[in-house]
């Protein structure tokens, strides 16, 4: 319901760039989460409902560690601890459930997400914890046309790009990486070839969780660290991997960036959706339910867009945009 | 005649219990709780048509429950303002069912093309969309406030106004019986068997020439129909429908009920609905950690008891059907096993309660009452004691569970031997 | 299957038989129910309310109680922020024989209670329940939806916005304001009130933006909104946001170097201050409240109360209206000479109380409290700092200005039906 139309063209440019920059950032964060989830799903066939909970755990651990020794040790140790916890959960929790089928595995991770949120509330309370940006990075790297581009956000971008590059090299160039590539598209074959699948599963799960943990460490102090983090971000990560396509890391990257940028732009350029309805001959002063729909703007529906895309994609092309195999 | 009596025995018993309960239970709070149980029994059974019988895990079943509730609330308000024609309140659940069916057919068509994880994710997507729509389409959903309604509308045949909770109780009880009967009958039909076949081996079913999509779609639609009935009764019971009725939390709750109760038997969801509603109403006043316990219970069932609590009971059915005396050998190992479990629980619950207390207490006070003892949560002592009890309990479980399952296996082997004779 | 079902039914009967609860006899103590989220995500807010009321009741009891020595007891009833549980707890209140119920966290629950109480009191004469609303600020509750059984002890949205706008007018540096609110009933009513009152009271201030966001924490990143606000040239933001929608907004603003003033209702509640982290010291944020600790000239007994509360709960006393609500209820009981709901409700109409900065009055027409309000700024430079759960946040509030009752009282459309 923006009563005011946007601003002069000059201002539009800087809003556009600012939004794209932040969209990229948000997208990279989503990618870090999605990459871990894709690896786990593609390799093990398990949709880890609790993936965003490991993200949350990473943020909380980073908060706790940085309280005592500072942000930089937290950046290294928090993901490691989260990864370790993930591996242990796979070994002692998920593995026994594996034999009961996919539904049981899904239920396990669903229950796990629920329990993790409760446990975090039990330990750290229900109010947001003051996990802050490190002093060293809390300044404006540069100001362009009146908008500050924070140094910390640039750092976030650097780290996430670095991780993507490292991940890409790891999968493309190492032996284990080759195995993972194979398993991404042909999991049963890899198993029949005699690789120690249970151990691979355990470390993959741990690694995926560690990736989620890093996202938590660098994102928690920007988005706010509180118990509802997981449930807000979780479903969007599913959207990313479905749209990108299962088994495809490139797909996950592109989908994540797409969603991040579209989300930001939809809000910044709060376009009215009325013209679409006008095409169908709907009156401007429509009554009842139509009056709600007619007054919609992109900013108003921005949080719903990902789910709409999810449903449409699953209906028409379950493989996703770049998927190498079906769900 | 005697045969008919035996077969319809449970139904007659159920009718008698439902008639008698309000005479035993007087408080309004408990009548409302019973009403909720009735509503959720129907919802849980409907959900199990999908999960237990059809193998489809849905995170969005509350959408039909909620949409039916909203429709009924609007209808009642319309009758109250004399803008809509009057339908006897007793028939309103059918209206809810129709709404559920309508949306179930539409959404089911696209959702049921695939099963498994894809189905689950589509249901998640629809659940999130429905929740978002409740805040966008204000005219129908009224956003955060939801829709208030009054069930005391229209003419009052025989003085039945449905104003009092007890009258609503009988309405819900009747519909609960009817719906349960209908759903039970469905499991006995060839269609019910087809659902099971599609759940177990969809490829084979396709080879046999059946259209798996059609079967799932039909199951989904019928399940939404009954979910709609439950939603309508919910609106009548609470007289308020809010945005959380369509959301993932509501779907998650019924999922917990069904799985903990047991998805592999017909009566499992009933057990789950009764148990969880009861705990939800009473336990949350006793402890803050109630949700954590619920989640842990769910995890335990997922990991160790695929058939849920009902499954655990039904597991023993062959034994008591064949020879009750076989139980004698099982009594001691079972008591040991259950006892160890209780000890472990006491320890773990103690630790959780202490942790919750320390992280959420308001005053600087560290004194707390745990199991009737005054303890100081800041000192190491109560923690150490609980940890010790928990450790002992877990160790005891490790020792007593093997004999417990061995005794069970022996009994089952004896049963099999007898059956073979 | 038959056996299982019999077992199920047997278990049910046993459970329910065991559970028969006898209604507590409200002998000497006067029990007042408090229906709030005491578990779940919003539990902190509910718990705070519970402790505040318990403490206020304690002080009244220490001073001799009501009606010749009867003690007031607050009964906490958890609704876990769930509409069904609110209804359940209302039924429980009926069972427990409670005649007074307090609530305020969540306007949708308050509406639920108003409707329930209207229906219940009509269907059950002799067992009426009175609803004492301590924080649900939807203006309609004392206008179109007003009810004899509902009393509100907090200023409503329109009144709070009136106070903010009146104070804004006093600051000549404010020229362009950007409105940003949550897209649901409360946020829209804030938006409507802001537009109307800015036009009436501060027509020189230009509204350069007016926006509604998707509420309840769905917006993770506020930087796109920040970009728009900067581009509009606004020097002030007027917002009713609360919870994550508030602290993420502030963090987004501070992270992008935006130095506008924030005029808010809920920007100063402790969970928001916790959410700002270090940015609490940087942001220029104002709130409107009925009192804050560092306001000069408050009577000694108020300070005594606040110090006692801080000592016991390691929390700063924030919502003084909780104290007034119980005192006014007690006074109404004394005036009516009984604890029965209808006489007490009649006595409460028109009741006045000496608040910390002036007299407050429960207006009889609409059961809406009339009171002076303070607009204050968050600052690192105040004597008493905000302490929550033992943690000192190093910030507190400093008064910008007091808006007297003449400016905060607004007309009502309420046409109340009285028994």
What are the boundaries of each domain within chain A?
A: 16-316
**Test the A interface: residue of B48, B124, B249, B377 with most A CBs within 10 Å:** B124
Q: How many domains does chain C have?
A: 2
Residues C122 and C175 in one domain: no
Residues A34 and A51: their CA atoms lie apart, in Å, by 9
Q: How confident is the model at residue C44 (pLDDT cuts 50, 70, 90)?
A: confident
Residues C245 and C188 in one domain: yes
Going by C-alpha positions, the residue among C356, C322, C378, C306 that lies closest to residue C135 is C322
* Chain B residue nearest residue A302, CA to CA: B132
Q: Which two tokens stand for residue B412?
A: 């089952």
Q: Cβ distance B400 to B336 under 8 Å? A: yes
Q: Which two tokens stand for residue C305?
A: 């109360």
Is there a domain that residue C3 lies in? no
Q: Which two tokens stand for residue A65?
A: 């560690």
Distance from CA of A158 to the nearest CA of B (A): 32
Nearest to A19 among C43, C224, C274 (CB): C224
Residues C382 and C250 in one domain: yes
CATH number of this structure's domain A16-316, picked from the four choices 3.30.70, 2.60.98, 1.10.3470, 3.30.160: 1.10.3470
- Chain C CB contacts of A7 under 8 Å are 228, 231-232
Report the percent of chain C where pLDDT is more than 70: 93
Residues C333 and C393 in one domain: no
Nearest to B244 among C5, C20, C82 (CB): C82
Top-level class of domain B2-300: mainly alpha
Helix (H, G, I), strand (E, B) or coil at B297: helix
Q: How many other CB atoms are there within 10 angstroms of residue B136's CB atom? A: 19
Q: How many interchain CB pairs under 8 A, A with B?
A: 118
- A319 CA to centre of own chain: 19
Nearest to A143 among C232, C257, C275 (CB): C257
Going by C-alpha positions, the residue among C97, C98, C99, C77 that lies closest to residue C88 is C77
Nearest to A224 among C212, C256, C275 (CB): C275
Q: Cβ distance C103 to C42 under 8 Å? A: no
Residues A102 and A110: their CA atoms lie apart, in Å, by 12
Give alpha helix (H) positions in C233-365.
Answer: 244-255, 270-276, 300-313, 321-336, 341-348
**What's the full length of chain C, in residues?**
419
pLDDT tens readout for residues A71-83: 999 999 999 999 9
Q: How confident is the model at residue A64 (pLDDT cuts 50, 70, 90)?
A: very high
- Chain A CB contacts of B308 under 8 Å are none
Q: Torsion angle of alpha carbons A117, A121, A123, A125, nearest 10°?
A: 160
Q: Is the confidence at residue B171, as pLDDT, over 80?
A: yes
Q: Which chains touch C (3 or more CB pairs under 8 A)?
A: A, B
Interface contact C256-A226, CB threshold 8 A: no
- Chain C CB contacts of B240 under 8 Å are 83, 87, 112, 115
Residues C181 and C220 in one domain: yes
Interface contact C11-B271, CB threshold 8 A: yes
Is there a domain that residue C152 lies in? no
- Chain A CB contacts of C181 under 8 Å are none
Q: Kindly list the domain boundaries of chain B, sorted by start residue.
A: 2-300, 317-420
Interface contact C220-A26, CB threshold 8 A: yes
Q: Which two tokens stand for residue B234?
A: 């919910």
Can you tell me the ipTM of this complex? 0.89
Q: By mean pLDDT, which of A24-28, A223-227, B258-262 is the weakest?
A: A223-227
Q: In this predicted structure, what is the pLDDT of residue C244?
A: 85
Q: In this predicted structure, what is the pLDDT of residue C15?
A: 55
Nearest to C228 among A130, A226, A268 (CB): A268
Going by C-alpha positions, the residue among A258, A281, A163, A215 that lies closest to residue A52 is A215
In the 8-state DSSP scheme, what is residue A137? G
φ, ψ for residue C392, nearest 5 deg: -95, 120
pLDDT tens readout for residues C312-344: 888 899 999 999 999 999 999 999 999 999 999
In the 8-state DSSP scheme, what is residue A146? T
* Chain C residue nearest residue A146, CA to CA: C230
Residues C172 and C269 in one domain: yes
**Test the C interface: residue of B73, B165, B250, B267 with most C CBs within 10 Å:** B267
- Chain B CB contacts of C17 under 8 Å are 24
Q: Cβ distance B134 to B246 under 8 Å? A: yes
pLDDT tens readout for residues C188-207: 899 999 999 999 999 999 99
Distance from CA of A21 to the nearest CA of B (A): 27
Q: How many other CB atoms are there within 10 angstroms of residue B186's CB atom? A: 17
| CATH number, domain containing residue C383 | 3.40.50.2300
How many DSSP H helices and E strands does chain B contain? Answer: 18, 4
Residue A148 contacts B, CB cutoff 8 Å = no
Going by C-alpha positions, the residue among A17, A106, A43, A80 that lies closest to residue A216 is A80
pLDDT tens readout for residues B99-120: 999 999 999 998 888 778 888 9
Residues C336 and C394 in one domain: no
- B193 CA to centre of own chain: 23
Residues C41 and C100 in one domain: yes
- Chain A CB contacts of C182 under 8 Å are none
Q: Which residues of B touch A (CB under 8 A)?
A: 51, 55, 57, 110, 113-114, 116-118, 120-122, 124-126, 128-129, 132-133, 136-140, 252, 255, 259, 289, 291-292, 295-296, 298-299, 302-303, 306, 352, 355-356, 359-360
Q: In this predicted structure, what is the pLDDT of residue C12?
A: 59
Q: In this predicted structure, what is the pLDDT of residue C412?
A: 94
Q: By mean pLDDT, which of A42-46, B347-351, C108-112 is the weakest?
A: A42-46
Which domain covers residue C55, as residue numbers?
27-136+299-356
Mean pLDDT of C239-253: 90
């Amino acid at each position: 319901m923006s009563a005011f139309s946007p601003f002069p063209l000059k201002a539009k440019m800087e809003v556009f760039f600012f939004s794209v920059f932040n969209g990229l950032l948000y997208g990279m964060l989503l990618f870090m989460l999605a990459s871990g989830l894709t690896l786990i799903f593609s390799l093990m066939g398990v949709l880890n409902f609790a993936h965003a909970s490991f993200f949350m755990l990473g943020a909380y651990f980073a908060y706790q560690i940085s309280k005592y020794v500072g942000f930089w040790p937290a950046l290294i140790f928090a993901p490691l601890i989260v990864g370790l916890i993930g591996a242990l959960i796979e070994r002692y929790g998920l593995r026994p459930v594996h034999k009961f089928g996919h539904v049981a595995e899904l239920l396990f991770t669903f229950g796990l997400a629920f329990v993790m949120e409760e446990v975090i509330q039990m330990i750290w309370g229900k109010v947001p914890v003051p996990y802050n940006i490190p002093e060293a990075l809390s300044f404006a790297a540069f100001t362009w046309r009146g908008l500050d581009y924070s140094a910390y956000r640039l750092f976030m971008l650097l780290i996430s790009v670095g991780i993507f590059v490292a991940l890409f090299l790891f999968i493309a160039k190492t032996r284990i990486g080759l195995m993972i590539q194979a398993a991404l598209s042909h999991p049963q074959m890899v198993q029949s070839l005699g690789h120690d699948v249970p151990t691979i599963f355990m470390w993959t799960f741990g690694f995926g969780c560690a990736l989620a943990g890093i996202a938590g460490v660098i994102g928690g102090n920007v988005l706010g660290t509180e118990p509802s983090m997981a449930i807000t971000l979780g479903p969007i990560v599913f959207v990313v991997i479905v749209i990108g396509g299962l088994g495809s890391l490139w797909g996950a990257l592109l989908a994540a960036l797409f969603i991040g940028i579209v989300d930001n732009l939809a809000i910044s350029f709060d376009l009215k959706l009325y013209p679409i309805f006008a095409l169908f001959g709907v009156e401007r002063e429509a009554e009842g339910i139509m009056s709600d729909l007619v007054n919609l703007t992109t900013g108003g529906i921005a949080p719903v867009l990902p789910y709409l895309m999810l449903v449409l994609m699953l209906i028409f092309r379950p493989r996703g945009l770049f998927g190498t195999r079906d769900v | 005649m005697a045969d008919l009596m035996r077969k319809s025995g449970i139904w007659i018993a159920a009718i008698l219990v439902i008639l008698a309960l309000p005479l035993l239970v007087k408080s309004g709070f408990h009548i409302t709780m019973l009403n909720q149980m009735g509503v959720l029994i129907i919802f849980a059974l409907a959900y199990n048509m999908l999960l237990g019988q059809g193998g489809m895990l849905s995170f969005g079943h509350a959408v039909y429950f909620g949409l039916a509730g909203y429709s009924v609330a609007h209808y009642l308000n319309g009758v109250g303002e004399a803008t809509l024609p009057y339908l006897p309140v007793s028939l309103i659940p059918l209206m809810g069912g129709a709404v559920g069916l309508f949306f179930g057919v539409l959404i089911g068509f696209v959702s049921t093309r695939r099963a498994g994880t894809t189905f689950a994710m589509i249901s998640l997507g629809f659940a999130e969309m429905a929740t978002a729509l409740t805040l966008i389409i204000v005219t129908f959903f009224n956003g955060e406030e939801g829709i208030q309604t009054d069930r005391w509308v229209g003419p009052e045949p025989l003085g039945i106004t449905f104003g009092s909770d007890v009258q609503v109780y009988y309405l819900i009880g009747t519909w609960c019986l009817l719906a349960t009967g209908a759903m039970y009958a469905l499991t006995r039909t060839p269609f019910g068997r087809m659902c099971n076949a599609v759940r177990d081996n969809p490829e084979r079913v396709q080879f046999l020439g059946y259209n798996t999509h059609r079967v799932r779609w039909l199951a989904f639609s019928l399940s939404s129909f009954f979910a709609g009935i439950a939603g309508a009764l919910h609106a009548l019971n609470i007289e308020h429908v809010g945005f959380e009725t369509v959301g993932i939390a509501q779907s998650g709750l019924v999922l917990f009920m069904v799985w903990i109760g047991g998805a592999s038997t017909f009566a499992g969801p009933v057990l789950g609905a009764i148990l969880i509603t009861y705990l939800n109403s009473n336990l949350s006043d006793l402890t803050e950690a109630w949700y954590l316990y619920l989640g842990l219970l769910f995890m335990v069932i997922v990991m160790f008891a695929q058939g849920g609590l009902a499954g655990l009971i039904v597991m023993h059915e062959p034994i008591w059907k064949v020879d009750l005396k076989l139980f004698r050998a099982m009594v001691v190992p079972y008591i040991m096993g259950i006892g160890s479990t209780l000890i472990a629980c006491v320890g773990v619950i103690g630790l959780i309660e202490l942790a919750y207390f320390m992280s959420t207490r308001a005053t600087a006070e560290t004194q707390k009452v745990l199991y009737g003892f005054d303890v100081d949560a800041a000192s190491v002592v109560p923690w150490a004691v609980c940890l010790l009890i928990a450790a002992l309990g877990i160790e005891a479980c490790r020792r007593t569970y093997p004999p417990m399952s061995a005794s069970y296996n022996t009994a089952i082997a004896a049963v099999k031997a007898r059956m073979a004779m | 299957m038959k056996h299982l079902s019999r077992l199920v039914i047997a278990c049910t009967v046993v459970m329910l038989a065991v559970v028969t609860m006898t209604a507590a006899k409200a002998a000497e103590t006067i029990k007042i129910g408090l229906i709030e989220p005491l578990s779940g995500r919003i539990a902190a807010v509910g718990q705070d309310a519970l402790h505040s009321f318990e403490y206020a009741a304690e002080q009244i009891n220490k001073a001799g109680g009501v009606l010749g020595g009867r003690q007031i007891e607050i009964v906490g009833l958890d609704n876990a922020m769930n509409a069904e549980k609110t209804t359940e707890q209302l039924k429980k209140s009926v069972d427990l024989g409670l005649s007074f119920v307090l609530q305020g966290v969540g306007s949708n629950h308050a509406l639920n209670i108003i409707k329930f109480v209207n229906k219940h009191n009509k269907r059950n004469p002799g067992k009426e329940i009175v609803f004492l609303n301590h924080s649900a600020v939807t203006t309609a509750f004392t206008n179109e939806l007003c009810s004899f059984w509902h009393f509100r002890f907090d200023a409503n949205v329109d009144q709070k916005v009136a106070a903010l706008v009146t104070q804004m007018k006093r600051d000549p540096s404010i020229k362009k304001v950007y409105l940003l609110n949550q897209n649901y009933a409360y946020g829209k009513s804030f938006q409507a009130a802001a537009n109307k009152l800015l036009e009436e009271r501060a027509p020189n201030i230009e509204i350069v933006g007016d926006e509604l966001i998707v509420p309840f924490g769905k917006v993770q990143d506020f930087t796109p909104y920040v970009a728009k606000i900067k581009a509009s040239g606004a020097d002030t933001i007027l917002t009713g946001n609360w919870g994550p929608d508030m602290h993420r907004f502030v963090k987004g603003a501070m992270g992008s170097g935006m130095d506008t003033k924030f005029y808010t209702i809920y920007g100063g509640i402790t969970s928001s201050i916790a959410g700002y982290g270090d940015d609490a010291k940087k942001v220029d944020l104002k709130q409107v409240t009925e009192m804050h600790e560092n306001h000069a000239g408050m009577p000694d007994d108020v300070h005594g109360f606040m110090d006692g509360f801080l000592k016991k709960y390691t929390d700063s006393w924030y919502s003084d209206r909780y104290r007034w609500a119980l005192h006014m209820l007690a006074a109404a009981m004394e005036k009516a000479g009984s604890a029965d709901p209808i006489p007490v409700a009649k006595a409460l109409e028109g009741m006045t109380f000496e608040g910390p900065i002036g007299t407050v009055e429960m207006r009889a027409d609409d059961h809406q409290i009339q009171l002076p309000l303070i607009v204050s700024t968050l600052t690192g430079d105040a004597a008493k700092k905000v302490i929550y759960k033992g943690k000192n946040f190093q910030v507190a509030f400093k008064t910008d200005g007091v808006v007297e009752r003449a400016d905060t009282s607004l007309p009502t459309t309420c046409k109340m039906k009285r028994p």
